[in-house]
Every structure is written in C-alpha cells, then in structure tokens.
Structure 1
Amino acid sequence: MARKFITERRPTASRGVQRSLEDRRTPIDVKYSLEEALEIFVQAKEAEGLRPRTIKDYRQHISYLREFLSEECPEVIEDINALTAQIIRAYINYLRKDRRPYEGAEHRKVVEREGLSVNTINMRLRTLKTMCRFWYAEGITGKNAMESVKPVRDDQQKEVRGLTDEEIGKIFNALDDRQFAEWRDKVLMYLMLDTGLRPEEAVSVHISQFDFRSMSVLVPSQIAKNRKEREIPISREVGRMVRELYEEVRQYFGEPDQVFMNAYGDPFTADAFRKRLNRMKVRLKLDELHPHMFRHTFARNYLLNGGDIFTLQKILDHADIKTTRKYVQMSNADVKAQHNKYSPIRKFLRR
C-alpha cells in the first residue's frame, strides 16, 4: 500500500598531576577551572571506552551545575578546588525548590511546578560523585567534596508507569496507516511492546538483526547498554509488520540497513520519536506519553501474563534483578486482578 509522506571547547593543555595520597591531603598548588577538570575527566572516561551518550550526559549534568555556580559561587568555575560539600548542598536545595523541570531545554515545555524530581536530582548527584572521586584521586582537588553528601531521600519513588490497555487502544486508533510516518511509528510501537527493547535499540535496529525463520531479533553488544549481546524472540505478526515496513523503505530509499527511517530517507532517532509522541500526547489529551513507557508496558504485561522475572531480566538486559523489580509498576487494578486469579483461598471455596 502506497503511503503519503508529510513532509566545546577543550583546554589548550591537559595538566594532569600525579601525587601520592599523602600529598593530596595538602592544598593543591595548581588551579584547575571547572572546564579543565571536566575535560580531564572526560578524556579519562573516553580512554576507558565509555559510550558517547554517557559522555554527553556527563557534560549535560555539569552544565546544570555550572549554571548554578555562575550565579551563586562563580569562584568554583575558576577553581574547582573551591567546591565544598556546603556548596553542593546549596545546589541540591536549588534543584529541589527553585529549578523548574525542562527550564532551558530546547523543544521541551517548562513544567509549572518548582523543583525537580528526587530521581532526577540523584542522577545528577551520582555524576558529580563520580567526578569528585576522580578529581581527588588524580590530585586535581585536595578533597572529595561529595564524600559526606548523601542522596536525596523520598518517601515513595515514582517509577515510570506503563500504558493501560485503554491508552494503547487510543494510541493505535489515532494512527493513520496511509501515512508512512504514522505507519512507521505503529510498527515501532508494536516492536517495543513485543520485545521490551530500549528506545535507542529499537529505532536503530537493522534488518540484518532479524531472523525471520526463528522469529527473533539480535541486539549486538556494540549497542547494548550493558555491552552484552542478547537475542529476543518476536511474535510472527510483528515480524511480518517489520518486513512489510522494510520493503516500503527499500522502495522509497533504496537499500538502507536501518528499518526505521524518516520521510527524508535519514535514520529515525529516539529523540524524533519522543517529540512525535509528545505531540500525540497533547492531541489525545494523555497525561504522559514517551518512548520508555512502551518498554515498561512490556515488562509489566510480561509478568502479568505469567512470565518469570529472571527471564524478564535477561530480555530487558538488566545487570541487577533489583532494577527489573523497580522497573515493573503494577496498578491497583493489576494487583486486584492477580489476587483474584491466584489467591489460594479459591481452591478451598470450591469444596
């Protein structure tokens, strides 16, 4: 069926300093700016083989800290050794009470409420903790400013929720298969709901990763978050949709390896998918809709349908099963349905 197309700057010299542990307890003679200290850290992590996206996150998190320091403690920007636990705690309070979600973020609507979520704050603190430990170990600072700073506590951490059956139906009913972009989005959603792939893994999948005989998709170690290759079964119906989409991609754009392309023949990206879902959220008047929700929906429904958590851990590529447990958020309706189905009292009531 034919479908319609709607159309840094690095320091001039790296000045790493090697000192003994005893020397590092004394004041530092050489001053490092925040930017210089960041670049030394980044160079070390690149040498360790960290992924570009992780490096990008490090830079982004420090940009938030730099923004705070420029107003409150500009001396730290010029001398990283001036960073103290007291300054970091002031930064935490700023994030908790004053910073508004998505403020300054391009193409994102600023949320009216003040203060970031506990999860977001702790994510930024983990980055800073890693950096402060590195700077101290390398002799860039005379102290580890994060050593005594604790993560922010929360009474109940809100996990990313999955989509309800009603919401999924509403989303699919709103998609027009006659338009290439919406048909592509539909296939992508089906693939994520069927496999639990991460958004980045799903949008970048190549046709060579699919085995349409055994009905599986291979996630190579080069793109897997935990650097472990894994093979995930797919439903025959989803495999058929993937092949149908790829045949259309070939007709329009030649012989690309990637399955999911935009209307201009360029690789579709997770960020583009997020933006499209955000527009759909507004159009359908949904409270929340973003790519990761499809992965969470797969995880929750996998367990509700009788799957075991150890297999789910392998499919989702979680190094620690605690992550898998946190990943699955059951609604009260889910809990009630499972209780009605599995309560041991049932066998006694039948007597």
Structure 2
Amino acid sequence: MERQLDAYCTHLRSERQVSPHTLEAYRRDLSKVLAFCDKEKITSWAALDIQHLRSLIARQHQQGQSSRSLSRLLSAVRGLYHYLNREGICEHDPANGLSPPKGERRLPKTLDTDRALQLLDGAIEDDFLAHRDQAILELFYSSGLRLSELTGLNMEQLDLSEGLVQVLGKGSKTRVLPVGRKAREALQAWIALRALANPEDDAVFISQQGRRLGPRAIQKRVKLVGERELGQNLHPHMLRHSFASHLLESSQDLRAVQELLGHADIKTTQIYTHLDFQHLATVYDSAHPRAKRKGSDHD
C-alpha cells in the first residue's frame, strides 16, 4: 500500500505538477489513512471500504480535527482512488458519498479600512528593508495575492506602466490583476534599490544577499511590521482577506472579487458577504423605498 502511495505522490509531482506544499499536505493526509489501515489490519487499498473510512473520519473528528481538515482528507482519498482506478488497482472509491461532519465556519480575520490605512500610510525609512517591506504590504493589499503567488513573483510578471501584475495561482492557473497607484509607487521605489543587492535571479522580492525571499521570511517581516505599526499579529492572508472584504463592500460585485482572488468556486468567495452585512444593511436602509424600519410612521 505504501509503495502505491509513493507512486501516486510521484504522479502528482511529475504529471500533475502540484506545488511542494500541496504535495506535502496530500501525503500527510493519506499517511493518516495508511496508519488507520495498518491498525485495522487492512492490507490493500482495494479492501478499504466506506465503513472503514467513515470510522476513520469519526475518530479524527473526536480528536478535534476541523471539518475543513476532514474535507481535505476526503478530497485526498478521492484523488488517490481516481489514480488507483485508472491504474487498474481498484474499482471503487470509499470516499464516494461521504462528507465531513459540519463544523462552525470561522470568518476570516480582517483589518478595517482605517487600520489598513494606518498600516500602509506610516512614515517609511529610506532604506532597503523598509522599501521592500512597504512594497510587499502594498502589493498584498492592492491586489489580493496569496503568499505563494507573491514569493514566486518574477520581474517580467510586473507591468507597472500599465498597473498590472500576472500571477501563477493554484492549479497553475494564471490571472492578471490590477496594481493600485500606491502599490505601483512602492514597487518603483523598491525596484530602484533591488539592483543594489545583485539579485541571483529574476525574483521581485529578494534578501540583502540577493536571494529570493521564501514564505517564512515574508511572514516574519509582515508580522514584524504589524506589531510595530498596529500592535497586533498580522499575516499575509489577513491582507488578502482585507483586500477582498473592502472591495466587496465598495463594489457589491461578488463575481469580480471571485475572479480577482482566483477562487474556482464562488462559494469560497461568499464567505466575505458575511463580513460586510452591517454595510449592506445601511445601504438597504438608505436606498430601499420601503426600508425605513426605524422611527417611521409608515412602517
């Protein structure tokens, strides 16, 4: 079973070209299934059935695994069995028809508009790190990039004269995003300093030694600025969430926000509609002809 799992992971890496992060997540989830099979004396993938898998999901849930984590595990199992069926190793999918226990859907944490402006509009020291960090923050908030999209960004993907950036998102899908005026200015100031570090490659964001910044380094810098400017924990995804919720609040165009975020399913984007209900209620009260619900003689 482990040998066939290794072959599947090789298939994901070489043929499907999934990212190392995604591959690691798949392997981690499927290793849980493998450990369960070992404990239950299940010796082949063909012998694992829906009852076994339901039992595993129930145990994981009891141990505190979130609905989202269990959904990802089931998705990993479906992917594995699609491969095993194609290879003639199995003729079934034990995850077919299974869904994880429903859990509470946590709303993403965001900065309100005033806090976002406080973060971005502070004084910037005229040095390499300060200009680089400002460009990173501005681009996250301006264009809603994922952390992986920003770390993988190369110079040829930026078109500052047109105010555009092309990013490589999940599933190797590319999308072109607008870059706001403030972000363009920050990037121009950073690029003027970038060359001083003798870049090793075409990476937009590099260290003082000229090497491409990795995800951990960027997370660390964002956290540092958040503590200094706002006195709170800040991470790249919070800036992406803030971008999405502020844009939706102003535009009310869910489909456009979906496209900008690169969400394959609009249900993923719909979580942001919960964040701005108060704004929607205010708009409704002021705009709808029969919405004067408070203090009116015509209710």
**Is the structural similarity TM-score above 0.5?**
yes
Is 2:143–2:178's contact at 8 Å kept on the other side of the alignment? yes
Q: Distance in 1 between matches of 2:129 and 2:14?
A: 39
Aligned to 2:139: 191
1:240 aligns with 2:185: yes
RMSD of aligned residue pairs (Cα, Å)? 3.4
Matched letter for residue 313 of structure 1: Q
Superposed counterparts of 1:203-222, under 5 Å: 203-219=151-167
Aligned to 2:81: 132
TM-score by length of 1: 0.69
Matched letter for residue 116 of structure 1: Q
* SS of residue paired to 2:80: helix
Aligned to 1:36: 3
Aligned to 1:324: 269
Structure 2 unaligned spans of 5+? none
Q: Distance in 1 between matches of 2:182 and 2:225?
A: 25
Q: Distance in 2 between matches of 1:88 and 1:256?
A: 46
Q: Which has the higher contact order (CA 8 A, sep 6+)?
A: 1
Superposed counterparts of 1:82-161, under 5 Å: 82-98=47-63, 115-141=64-90, 143-154=92-103, 156-161=104-109
Is 1:89–1:149's contact at 8 Å kept on the other side of the alignment? yes
Q: 1:292 to 1:171 in 2, by over 3 A?
A: same
Report the alpha carbon displacement of residue 150 of structure 1 after superposing the two structures with TM: 2.7
Q: 1:340 to 1:162 in 2, by over 3 A?
A: farther
Is 1:68–1:91's contact at 8 Å kept on the other side of the alignment? yes
Report the alpha carbon displacement of residue 209 of structure 1 after superposing the two structures with TM: 1.8
Report the alpha carbon displacement of residue 123 of structure 1 after superposing the two structures with TM: 1.2
Structure 1 unaligned spans of 5+? 1-32, 99-114
Aligned to 1:303: 248
Q: Distance in 2 between matches of 1:306 and 1:344?
A: 21
Which of 218, 225, 228 is the aligned partner of 2:170? Answer: 225
Higher helix share: 2
Matched letter for residue 297 of structure 1: S
Aligned to 1:65: 33
Report the alpha carbon displacement of residue 207 of structure 1 after superposing the two structures with TM: 2.3
Report the alpha carbon displacement of residue 307 of structure 1 after superposing the two structures with TM: 5.5
What is the total number of aligned residue pairs between the two structures?
Answer: 292
* SS of residue paired to 1:305: helix
Identical pairs, percent: 24
Q: 1:233 to 1:280 in 2, by over 3 A?
A: closer
Q: 1:150 to 1:339 in 2, by over 3 A?
A: same
Which of 110, 113, 122 is the aligned partner of 1:165? Answer: 113
